[in-house]
Structure 1
Amino acid sequence: MVQAVIDPQLRPSLADTAYLSLRDRLLTLEIRPGDPLNDEALAKEFGFGRTPVREALKRLEADRLVMTYPRRGTFATPVEVTDLAYISEIRSQLEPLAAARAARVASLAARRHLVSLIEQVRTFDASTATVRETLRFDAEMHRGIYAAAGNPHLEDALIRYDNLATRIWCLVMDRLPGLAGHLHEHVALLRAVVDGQEQRAAELAALHVEGFESAVRAALFAV
């Protein structure tokens, strides 16, 4: 049997592996806000040295997902619901910009990827999926649009703010009805991007951010 040869350049580094694992756990609040992250303990958990873990923690600090204090250590950042308005203010400007730009400049390969996401969301069963699976799929749709926009600086900024929004979402996820509906909202947005409808893509992206903030606020202040 012939085994496929994997290009070493495509393999994630140890630092990438640690970063992605810790990022997912921070986003889903599996690592709770304020929890300490000890590089030695994490290195033992991952089964490799402390250097890749330290590199991962530095990236997570740049993402504002952890904070490091001299002589105290590294901790998961708090989730401040008061930040929701600030995050939404930024996302309401950048998400439509990315969607419109993606509709205008996305490559054929990027549009094909978005079409595949449309097909996936139509069959995705949020009622049986885990929280991590739901959040990962939601992020994949957003990041598909960010990547299709072809502006790495815009993509980087949006990923960071989407991560911060996700942590707030996780605080109230058990009080949010219709997760399937939230995911299916992406279909029209993805289709607008694929079809090159700049204005419609921007409008739908803005509505999506607005709807997210309204839903989270309603859950936060429900009696």
Structure 2
Amino acid sequence: MTADVELADETLADRAYRVLRDRLVLLDISPGEPLSESVLADEIGVGRTPMREALKRLEADYLVVTYPRRGTFASAVDLTDLAEITEIRGALVPLAARRAAAVRGGEAAAALTAVLEEVRAVTGEESRRDLMELDLAVHRIVDHAASSSYLEETLVRLDGLGTRLWCLLIDRLPAMRDHVCEHVPLMEAILAGDEQEAEALARAHVHHFDTAVRAVL
């Protein structure tokens, strides 16, 4: 599974947004890199209007920034944002996990079960890029399982910003396998309907992320 999964009912603007969002989050597009609307539209296979809409959404996600008369650029990754991102995720990720457990994954239960098996099968031989994509996919499925569009939208944005921090430092961080595999008991708790355990595990996961990043700064 990757973070970039094509959706059957998405609009062209949605597609442009999804593809570009993952490129920006995973640092395939480097921080500070200029973005050409026409070049990106051709690469993704959409028109200029959908691409323009996608870039506006990405600006709202803090992933791109537009300067008058200069153009649009991939946003910088500011390591000083870690404390604020962690504080907000520390409140919302456990809430999402608890809500998801209350409905045993809800409409995302099948996707959660599938990605759980994928994480269980991780050996550590996978590339860091593949593990980053898997980690991002897990977070997005759990966010969706919380059954709140408002909470999901906020968390997907925060998860993206957190992932950019992780990607920037990935060569100095501990092995990705352990970080990704922390999701196994969390997803098991959600599917079992154990709200308290899911909440506690989600809080611990956010704390571990913050601790690992701070250790290499």
Q: Is the structural similarity TM-score above 0.5?
A: yes
SS in 1 for 2:127: coil
- Within 5 Å, which residues of 2 pair with 1:1-223? 10-106=8-104, 109-129=107-127, 131=129, 133-220=130-217
Number of equivalences: 211
Moved more, 37-46 or 167-176: 37-46
SS in 1 for 2:62: coil
| Cα distance in 1 for residues equivalent to 2:18 and 2:108 | 23
RMSD: 1.7
8 Å CA contact 1:43, 1:50 repeated in 2: yes
Residue in 2 aligned with 1:6?
none
In structure 1, runs of 5+ residues without a counterpart are 1-8
| Cα distance in 2 for residues equivalent to 1:170 and 1:37 | 20
Distance apart, 1:25 and its partner CA:
1.4
Distance apart, 1:203 and its partner CA:
0.6
Distance apart, 1:107 and its partner CA:
5.3
Tell me which amino acid in the other structure corresponds to 2:162. Answer: A
| Cα distance in 1 for residues equivalent to 2:36 and 2:172 | 32
| Cα distance in 1 for residues equivalent to 2:98 and 2:113 | 17
Distance apart, 1:19 and its partner CA:
1.6
Tell me which amino acid in the other structure corresponds to 1:172. Answer: L
Distance apart, 1:112 and its partner CA:
3.3
Distance apart, 1:84 and its partner CA:
0.3
* Structure 1 pair 108–156 and aligned structure 2 pair: CA distance change class (3 A): closer
8 Å CA contact 1:106, 1:149 repeated in 2: no
Distance apart, 1:114 and its partner CA:
1.8
| Cα distance in 2 for residues equivalent to 1:207 and 1:129 | 25
8 Å CA contact 1:99, 1:198 repeated in 2: yes
Tell me which amino acid in the other structure corresponds to 1:127. Answer: E
Tell me which amino acid in the other structure corresponds to 2:61. Answer: D
Q: TM-score, normalised by structure 2?
A: 0.91
SS in 2 for 1:177: coil
* Structure 1 pair 101–18 and aligned structure 2 pair: CA distance change class (3 A): same
Tell me which amino acid in the other structure corresponds to 1:35. Answer: E
Distance apart, 1:127 and its partner CA:
2.7
* Structure 1 pair 126–15 and aligned structure 2 pair: CA distance change class (3 A): farther
Q: TM-score, normalised by structure 1?
A: 0.88
* Structure 1 pair 53–126 and aligned structure 2 pair: CA distance change class (3 A): farther
8 Å CA contact 2:16, 2:44 repeated in 1: yes
- Per-residue CA distance 1:144-192 (angstroms, 9 max, x = gap): 2111111110010000000000000001111112211111100000011
| Cα distance in 2 for residues equivalent to 1:130 and 1:179 | 7
Distance apart, 1:122 and its partner CA:
1.1
SS in 1 for 2:99: helix
SS in 1 for 2:66: strand
